[in-house]
């Protein structure tokens, strides 16, 4: 058949006519029409015949065709680990959820299998490691995550508690639940979320279908933390797509839509939307007929109608059970709801706890803390400080010398310090301090010779004021603090002590100036690592100040911040948080300021050391924004903030992210402090560590060598900071296989710790163990063995029982002995180390694996195959995870 | 087809659609054995996912359906090719008792023949070939087809009837 469109058109025309004719008429008609092309007759007849049939492939359902044709060679899932699949419960965006039964235990579970997310072996490790975190999340209102692992082909799956229940919003509607009941349920949900946040787990995908109300009327939250896990399964380039796939647009927070960092505040947004739905029976935005792209635009650009308006609108009725709520109550509910789901994360409730507290206030008829227009941090109204473009020299001269003049002029004024005077003096001091410690990024830090000379001159000037002892004391204190900032602790000590003594002479044992001096001296003691003395001084000072001044007086806040820092140093994190949080609350009502920044920074650090990384991260991000607004984007405070954020990521094991933050920080801090400053060194060390953990050894060593050079110069060759950097260098060297270099690094580290702490300190043992590791890597077994033995002995002496360092050292010792074939001797240390390490909450599993493997070999060689098999079996069950030691 | 989307984006949209449909179809088969595939549902699901994750939006759902129809055709044709190759390949050693494999191979052959015939029809009358593609692979109904091709429903019915007859003949003819 020729490919002639015109011909085809003609054939069709004939066909349509012929098909309506009777059979008899047809042939005649065609023969008449197709005189010039007789073959067309047969063609059209053929078409007519075909028209009468209906058995070609075109008549079939595409589904059956597809079924037949598509590759079904992959067998369906029947068994997952010890579970047998019973049926499909549902299909979600990322995979299928099955109902499964564990036959040996006759228990049910829900298993979510993530199709199309086949994990590479490296990611499998990480996946298993992360789920460990989630498995600790145990709470009656949170659906348990029992296990997570991968199928043999790398497909990940989660084993979760099987929960039967009704989605929260459906339940409330069905039961026509009154307001009290809805709020009670909602509060229970919030509590569960708060528990998770306290363990640094953010849900990220809260929505009513993830909150089931069970038969006993209590809610259970599902899918906790899975969203984060799922995000990490994809290549970073696709992460935004994955994140978007995961979200249900209606509950997605603006920062999720924009691909910005997610935190506890994101869950709070979702809780707000859920509350909105519970109160109005509707979602805040009508996204029903929009494409997801349009939905995002709506959420980002529009304000939701207030719940009170929606529920009381003409022509609509509130959800069943919610009739009869008064106008005042609705106003409060509006505030609750809209604060939680504010578009700007900083304007939401800062913690779920805060939301719960306001819920309680509401139920008790008390006023809420969140007020409709309250801006917790008035960033946009801030005036950026205008630093004089003078050099430090001139500025310092002006200030320090001018202070003398200032106070001289004030000779005539009354000596009794009123609150305003003290506050002003405080501000002057702070201005001076900040000038020296980083007010102007052009000026740079104040450790240049000129400034020091000026300070000396200032001290000299101050001595002139013998006739004005109180002013003199003030100046001594100011100068002492400046020296402290510069790191000259001895000078600071004598000055601050002199100030205190002077004030005591003037005011007696108690007085506001005395109290302030005590706080300042207390802070110095902190730097000098004399914690007891430090705390004593600060507490005394704080008590005195509190008696005289109101709670939001700058001196009081200073003292509270100082106390918070001390408690943090001591590891009393709960108390530290309590003190600092109060100070932050007090300050934040007055808008952003340097004091607020300092205090918030301490609070964020406390969270970090306490292990609440999520809280620290959230707070640090807010702080970063505030500092950028307050000081400008290249200010060292911003650099510090970036370092903190990097530290958090490092702690979470996100070394690439940590590296990114550290580099950004380095950029700022290096240009501010100069390339040879201890702060730069410290930054470089952290960067180096992040690089080492990623295996980027060359870059790591560059950074670390630079840091080392600075530290040696500034602190001298024998200093703990130097030793710490040498440790990192040793690790990097070992990773590149350069054993001689590693050995040299560790030897030096050992000698430093010997000199600084003595040979009976756990850090000395740590250096010994590291050096021994190098010997082991070089197969110098007897040297390694001897040194490991010493290290183990010293660890035992200096650390609490069952400590990780001791356990790992034992395993290393056992490993060496096993390598030498000394099976019987190897058994003891291996077993002891293994048991101690397994008992840990989050053991470093690489060493567990080593221990197991070695023990299996040992027992095989000792002719005890059952024991060997036992250890092998344990290895098979547990996912093999590689992690930093 | 005239579409408001630029060519490279169109290609990208097509690739993503293709991959998504393939993935979806395979996942349904794996996870819910015994369930017959519902292409319309697959296309819906693919649309939801892709529209969310791709930064470009097809101008309308219908526009997407057109692309999906083409993609679906490609997915199935490729699968059919693999299947019919099995007839000649090493898998011939496997004996199935219920003959389902034979049916699969037979169906694959038919699908391949349809694909070839459609190609030829496209040379005769492109719009008709498109119509068949939309209706058969894309699950378009009468009004959707008319709307997307810019003709009346009665035109669609006529053209469909003729195309169907012609294709049926071609398929019978094929070896």
DSSP-assigned states of every residue in A494-519: HHHHHHHHHHHHHH-SS-HHHHHHHH
Closest-CA distance, B9 to chain A, in angstroms, reads 16
Question: Which residues of chain A does B53 touch, with a Cβ-Cβ cutoff of 8 Å?
Answer: 241, 244-245
**Nearest chain B Cα distance for residue A215, angstroms:** 29
Q: Are A93 and A77 in contact (CB under 8 A)?
A: no
Q: What single DSSP character describes residue A136?
A: T
Reported as a single tens digit per residue, the pLDDT across B2-42 is 444 455 666 666 776 777 677 677 666 666 655 666 776 77
Q: Are A446 and A439 in contact (CB under 8 A)?
A: no
Q: Alpha-carbon distance A581 to B150, whole Å? A: 67
Q: What is the pLDDT of residue A112?
A: 82
What per-residue confidence (pLDDT) applies to A505?
A: 87
Q: Is the pLDDT of residue A735 over 90?
A: no
| Count of Cβ atoms closer than 10 Å to residue A857 Cβ | 19
pLDDT, tens digit (0-9, with 9 covering 90-100), for A242-279 = 444 445 677 888 887 777 777 888 899 999 999 999 99
Give CA separation, B168 vs A26, A56, A392, B172, in Å: 20, 6, 92, 6
pLDDT at A383: 22
What is the Cα–Cα distance from A499 to A521, expressed in whole angstroms?
9
**Whole-angstrom distance, CA of residue A883 vs CA of residue A804:** 14
Indicate if the pLDDT at residue B60 is higher than 50: yes
CB atoms < 10 A from the CB of B172, how many? 13
Quick one: tokens of A653?
A: 């094991």
Determine contact, residues A409/A467, Cβ cutoff 8 Å. no
* Tokens describing residue A123: 């990611």
Q: Look at residue A408 in the predicted model and tell me its pLDDT.
A: 32
Residue B145 CA to residue B156 CA, distance in Å, equals 7
Q: Which residue has the higher pLDDT, A780 or A55?
A: A780
User: DSSP E strands: which ranges in A211-319?
Assistant: 211-213, 219-221
Contacts of A48 in chain B (CB under 8 A): 165
pLDDT at A103 over 80: no
Select the more confidently predicted residue: A295 or A693: A693
Q: Which long-range contacts (CB under 8 A, 24 or more apart) does A362-370 make?
A: A362/A183, A362/A329, A362/A332, A362/A333, A362/A336, A363/A180, A363/A183, A368/A332, A368/A335, A368/A336, A370/A335, A370/A336, A370/A339
Question: What per-residue confidence (pLDDT) applies to A881?
Answer: 37
> What percent of chain B lies above the pLDDT cut of 90?
23
**Residue-averaged pLDDT of chain A:** 77
Contact B25 A70 (CB under 8 A): yes
- What pLDDT score was predicted for residue A223? 79
Helix axes A226-233, A239-246, angle to 10 degrees: 150
User: Which residue of B25, B27, B124 is in closest CB contact with A8?
Assistant: B124
Q: Which residues of A touch B161 (CB under 8 A)?
A: 16, 19, 51
pLDDT at A343: 84
Query: Nearest Cα to A47, choosing from B106, B158, B132?
Result: B158
CB B124 within 8 Å of CB A8: yes
pLDDT at site A138: 81
pLDDT category of residue A401 using cuts at 50, 70 and 90: very low
> In angstroms, what separates the C-alpha of A19 from chain B's closest C-alpha?
10
Average pLDDT over residues A95-105: 81
Contact (CB<8Å) A9/B125? yes
Do β-strands A96-102 and A145-150 pair in parallel, antiparallel, or remain unpaired? unpaired
Rg (CA), chain B: 17
* Distance from the first to the final alpha carbon of chain B: 32
- The residue among A187 and A86 whose pLDDT is bigger is A187
pLDDT score, position A118: 52
Query: At residue A89, does pLDDT exceed 70?
Result: yes
Integer Cα distance of A816 and A823 in angstroms: 10
Give the number of A-B residue pairs with CB atoms closer than 8 Å.
136
Q: Do A47 and B166 touch (CB under 8 A)?
A: yes
pLDDT recorded at residue B90: 39
Most confident range (mean pLDDT) of A111-115, A289-293, A390-394 is A111-115
The pLDDT of A445-452, averaged and rounded, is 43
A457/A471 Cα distance (integer angstroms): 16
How far is residue B11's CA from residue A381's CA, in Å, rounded to a whole number? Answer: 49
A292, B48: Cβ pair inside 8 Å?
Answer: yes
CB pair distance less than 8 Å for B53 and A241: yes
Residues of A in contact with B158 (CB under 8 A): 16
Nearest to B57 among A47, A51, A291 (CB): A291
Give me the pLDDT at residue A664, please: 93
Q: Nearest CA to A523 among A486, A481, A554, A553?
A: A481
Q: What is the C-alpha to C-alpha distance for residues A794 and A772, in angstroms, rounded to an integer?
A: 14
> Lowest-confidence range among A708-712, A809-813, B19-23?
B19-23
Cross-chain residue pair B52–A70, CB shorter than 8 Å: no
Question: What pLDDT, in 10s, does the model give residues A588-609?
Answer: 777 777 778 878 888 888 887 7
* A244 CB-contact burial (10 Å; exposed 0-12 / middle 13-18 / buried 19+): buried
Q: Is the pLDDT of residue B125 over 70?
A: yes
DSSP per-residue codes, A170-192? HHHHHTT--HHHHHHHHHHHHHH
- CA distance to partner chain A, nearest, from residue B78 (Å): 9
Measured between CB atoms, which of B83, B124, B132 is closest to A3? B124
| Higher-pLDDT residue of A503, A119 | A503
Q: How far apart are CA A196 and CA A615, in angstroms?
A: 12
**Residues of chain A contacting B79 with CB distance shorter than 8 Å:** 69-71
pLDDT grade for A232, boundaries at 50, 70 and 90:
low
Place of tokens 């680990």: A81
CB contacts of A64 in chain B (<8 Å) are: 36
Instruction: Assign A382 a pLDDT band (cuts: 50, 70, 90).
Output: very low
Q: What's the confidence (pLDDT) of residue A872? A: 84
Chain A residue numbers touching B49 (CB-CB < 8 A): 93, 245
Write down how long chain A is: 885
pLDDT value of residue A381: 19
Q: What is the pLDDT of residue A377?
A: 28
A39 vs A31, A43, A637, A768, B167, CA distance in Å? 10, 6, 90, 99, 18
What 3-state DSSP class applies to A674?
A: coil
Query: Three-class SS of residue A46?
Result: helix
Asked whether the beta carbons of residue A70 and residue B26 sit closer than 8 angstroms, the reply is yes
Higher per-residue pLDDT: A185 or A612: A185
Chain B residues near residue A94 by CB distance under 8 angstroms:
none
Angle between helices B7-31 and B61-88 (to 10 degrees): 60
Angle at A589 between CA A585 and CA A594, to 5 degrees: 85
Q: Which residue of B has its CA nearest to A77?
A: B31
Which residues does chain A have within 8 Å of residue B69's beta carbon, measured at their own beta carbons?
Answer: none
Distance of CA A93 to the CA centre of its chain: 25
pLDDT digits (tens, 9 = 90+) for A639-651: 888 988 888 888 7
Which residue among B25, B33, B53 sits closest to A244, beta carbon to beta carbon? Answer: B53
What is the predicted pLDDT for the residue at A117? 53
The chain B residue lying nearest A247, using CA atoms, is: B52
Contact (CB, 8 A) for A760 and A798: yes
For residue B171, list chain A residues with Cβ-Cβ distance below 8 A. Answer: 56-57
Q: SS3 for A645? A: helix
The pLDDT assigned to A775 comes to 93
Residue with tokens 């163990």, as numbered in its chain: A769
User: How far B2 CA lies from chain A's nearest CA (Å)?
Assistant: 21
- What is the structure's pLDDT at B102? 64
User: What is the three-class DSSP state of A214?
Assistant: coil
A131 or A330: whose pLDDT is higher?
A330
Q: Give CA–CA dist A766/A843, Å, rounded.
A: 18
Higher pLDDT, B113 or A716: B113
A299 Cα to chain B: minimum distance (Å) = 15
CA A671 to the chain's CA centroid: 27
For position A450, what pLDDT does the model report? 44
CA A784 to the chain's CA centroid: 39
- Token pair 């019978």 in the structure block, residue: B172
Contact present, B68 and B43 (Cβ < 8 Å)? yes
Q: What is the mean pLDDT of residues B64-69?
A: 83
Count of other CB atoms within 10 angstroms of residue A692: 25
Is residue A884 classed exposed, middle or buried when 0-12, 13-18 and 19+ CB atoms within 10 A define those classes? Answer: exposed
**Ordered alpha helix ranges (H), A694-777:** 697-715, 720-736, 739-757, 762-777
CB contact under 8 A, B52 and A245: yes
Of A48, A56, A11, nearest to B171 (Cα)?
A: A56
- Across the interface, of A16, A48, A63, the residue whose CB is closest to B36 is A63
Buried b (16+ CB within 10 A) or exposed e, A23-52: eeebeebbeebbeeeeebbebbbbbbebbe
Percent of chain B scored above 70 by pLDDT? Answer: 60
Question: Would you say residue A428 has pLDDT above 60?
Answer: no
| Chain A interface, best mutation among B53, B64, B75, by max A CB count within 10 A | B53
**What's the CA gap between A6 and A864, in Å, rounded?**
89
- What distance separates the 2 farthest-apart alpha carbons in chain A? 135
Torsions phi, psi for A107 (to 5 deg): -115, 155
- pLDDT value at position A442? 38
Q: How far off is chain A from B74, nearest CA to CA, in Å?
A: 12
Reduced to 3 states, what is the DSSP secondary structure of residue A122? helix
* Angstroms from B24 CA to nearest CA on chain A: 10
Distance, in Å, from the CA atom of A432 to the CA atom of A399, rounded to the nearest integer, reads: 7
Half-sphere exposure of A686 (CA within 13 A, CB side): 26
Tell me how long chain B is.
Answer: 175
Interface test with A, best of B12, B31, B56 (most A CBs within 10 A): B31
Higher model confidence: residue A407 or residue A554? A554
DSSP letter at A765 equals H
Give pairs for A387-393: CB < 8 Å, separation 24+. Answer: A387/A435, A387/A439, A387/A440, A387/A442, A387/A443, A388/A440, A389/A440, A389/A442, A390/A443, A391/A443, A392/A435, A392/A436, A392/A443, A392/A444, A392/A446, A392/A448, A392/A450, A392/A451, A393/A450, A393/A451, A393/A454
Q: For A238, which residue in chain B has the nearest alpha carbon? A: B53
3-state secondary structure B107-158: HHHHHHHHHHHHHHHHHHCHHHHHHHHHHHHCCCCHHHHHHHHCCCHHHHHH
pLDDT at A120: 55
- Among B168, B172, B173, B174, which would you mutate to test the A interface (most chain A Cβ atoms within 10 Å of its Cβ)? B168
Mean pLDDT value across residues B129-156: 90
3-state secondary structure of A411: helix
What mean pLDDT comes out for the span A670-694? 84
């Amino acid at each position: 058949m020729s490919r002639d469109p015109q011909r085809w058109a003609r054939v069709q025309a004939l066909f349509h006519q012929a098909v309506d004719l009777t059979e008899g008429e047809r042939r005649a008609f065609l023969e008449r029409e197709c005189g010039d092309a007789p073959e067309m007759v047969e063609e059209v007849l053929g078409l007519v015949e075909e028209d009468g049939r209906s058995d070609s492939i075109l008549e079939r359902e595409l589904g059956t065709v597809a079924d037949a044709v598509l590759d079904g060679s992959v067998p369906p899932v029947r068994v997952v680990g010890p579970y047998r699949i019973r049926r499909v419960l549902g299909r979600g965006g990322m995979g299928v959820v099955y109902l499964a039964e564990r036959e040996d235990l006759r228990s049910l579970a829900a298993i979510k299998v993530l199709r199309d997310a086949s994990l590479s072996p490296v990611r499998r490790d990480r996946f298993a490691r992360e789920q460990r975190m989630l498995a600790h999340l145990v709470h009656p209102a949170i659906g348990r995550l029992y296990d997570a692992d991968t199928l043999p082909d790398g497909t990940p799956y989660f084993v979760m508690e099987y929960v039967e229940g009704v989605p929260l919003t459906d339940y409330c509607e069905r039961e026509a639940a009154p307001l009290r009941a809805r709020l009670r349920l909602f509060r229970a949900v919030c509590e569960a979320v708060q528990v998770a946040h306290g363990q640094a787990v953010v849900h990220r995908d809260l929505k009513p279908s993830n909150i089931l109300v069970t038969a006993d009327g209590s809610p259970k939250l599902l899918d906790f933390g899975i969203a984060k896990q799922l995000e990490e399964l994809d290549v970073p380039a696709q992460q935004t797509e994955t994140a978007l796939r995961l979200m249900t647009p209606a509950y997605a927070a603006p920062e999720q839509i924009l691909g910005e960092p997610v935190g506890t505040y994101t869950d709070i947004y979702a809780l707000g939307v859920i509350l909105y739905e519970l109160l109005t029976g509707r979602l805040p935005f009508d996204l029903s007929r929009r494409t997801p792209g349009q939905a995002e635009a709506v959420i980002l650009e529009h304000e939701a109608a207030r719940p009170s308006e929606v529920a009381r609108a003409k022509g609509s009725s509130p959800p069943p059970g919610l009739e009869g709520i008064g106008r005042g109550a609705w106003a409060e509910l509006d505030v609750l709801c809209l604060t939680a789901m504010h578009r700007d994360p900083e304007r939401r409730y800062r913690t779920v706890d805060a939301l719960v507290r306001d819920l309680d206030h509401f139920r008790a008829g008390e006023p809420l803390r969140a007020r409709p227009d309250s801006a917790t941090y008035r960033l946009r109204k801030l005036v950026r400080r205008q630093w004089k473009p003078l050099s430090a020299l001139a500025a310092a001269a002006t200030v320090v010398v001018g202070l003398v003049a200032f106070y001289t002029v004030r000779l005539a004024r009354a000596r009794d310090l009123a609150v305003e005077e003290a506050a002003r003096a405080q501000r002057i001091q702070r201005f001076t301090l900040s000038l020296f410690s980083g007010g102007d990024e052009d000026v740079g830090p104040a450790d240049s010779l000129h400034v020091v000379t000026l300070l000396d001159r200032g001290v000299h000037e101050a001595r002139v004021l013998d006739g004005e002892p109180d002013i003199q004391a003030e100046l001594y204190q100011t100068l002492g603090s400046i020296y402290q900032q510069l790191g000259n602790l001895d000078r600071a000590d004598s000055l601050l002590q002199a100030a205190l003594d002077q004030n005591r002479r003037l005011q007696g044992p108690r007085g506001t100036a005395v109290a302030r001096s005590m706080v300042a001296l207390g802070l110095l003691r902190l730097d000098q690592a004399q914690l007891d003395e430090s705390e004593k001084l600060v507490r005394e000072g704080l008590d005195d100040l509190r008696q005289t001044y109101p709670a939001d007086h700058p001196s009081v806040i200073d003292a509270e911040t100082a106390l918070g820092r001390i408690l943090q140093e001591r590891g009393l994190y709960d108390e530290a948080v309590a003190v600092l949080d109060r100070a932050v609350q007090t300050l934040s009502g007055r808008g952003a300021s340097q004091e607020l920044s300092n205090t918030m920074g301490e609070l964020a650090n406390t969270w970090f050391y306490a292990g609440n990384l999520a809280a620290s991260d959230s707070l640090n991000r807010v702080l970063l924004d505030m500092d950028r607004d307050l000081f400008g984007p290249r200010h060292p405070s911003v650099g510090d903030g970036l370092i903190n954020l990097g530290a958090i990521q490092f702690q979470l094991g996100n070394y690439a992210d940590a590296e990114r933050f550290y580099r950004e920080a380095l950029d700022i801090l290096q240009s501010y402090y100069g390339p040879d400053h201890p702060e730069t060194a410290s930054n470089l060390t952290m960067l180096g560590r992040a690089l080492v953990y990623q295996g980027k050894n060359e870059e790591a060593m560059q950074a670390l060598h630079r840091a080392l050079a600075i530290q040696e110069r500034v602190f001298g060759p024998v200093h703990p900071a130097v030793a710490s950097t040498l440790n990192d260098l040793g690790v990097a060297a070992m990773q590149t296989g350069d054993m001689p270099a590693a050995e040299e690094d560790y030897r030096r580290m050992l000698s430093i710790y010997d000199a600084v702490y003595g040979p009976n300190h756990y850090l000395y043992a740590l250096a010994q163990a590291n050096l021994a590791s190098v010997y082991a890597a070089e197969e110098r077994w007897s040297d390694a063995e001897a040194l490991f033995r010493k290290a183990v002995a010293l660890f035992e002496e200096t650390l609490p029982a069952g400590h990780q360092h001791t356990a790992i050292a034992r395993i290393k010792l056992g490993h060496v002995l096993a390598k030498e074939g000394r099976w019987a001797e190897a058994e003891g240390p291996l077993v002891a180390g293994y048991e101690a390490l397994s008992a840990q909450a989050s053991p470093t599993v690489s060493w567990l694996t080593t221990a197991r493997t070695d023990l299996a070999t040992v027992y095989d060689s000792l002719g005890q195959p059952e024991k060997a098999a036992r250890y092998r079996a344990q290895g098979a069950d547990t996912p093999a995870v590689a992690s930093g030691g | 087809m005239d579409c408001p989307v630029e060519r490279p984006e169109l290609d990208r949209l097509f690739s993503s659609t293709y991959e998504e449909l393939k993935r979806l179809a395979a996942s349904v088969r794996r996870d819910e054995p015994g369930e017959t595939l519902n292409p319309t549902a697959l296309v819906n699901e693919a649309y939801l996912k892709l529209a969310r994750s791709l930064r470009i939006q097809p101008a309308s759902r219908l526009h997407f359906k057109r692309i999906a129809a083409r993609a679906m055709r490609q997915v199935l044709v490729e699968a059919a090719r693999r299947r019919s190759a099995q007839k000649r390949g090493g898998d011939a050693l496997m004996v199935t008792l219920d003959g389902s494999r034979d049916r699969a191979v037979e169906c694959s052959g038919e699908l391949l023949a349809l694909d070839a015939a459609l190609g030829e029809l496209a040379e005769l009358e492109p719009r008709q070939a498109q119509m068949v593609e939309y209706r058969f692979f894309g699950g378009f109904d009468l009004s959707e087809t008319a709307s997307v091709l810019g003709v009346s429903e009665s035109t669609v019915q006529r053209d469909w009837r003729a195309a169907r007859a012609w294709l049926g003949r071609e398929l019978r003819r094929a070896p």
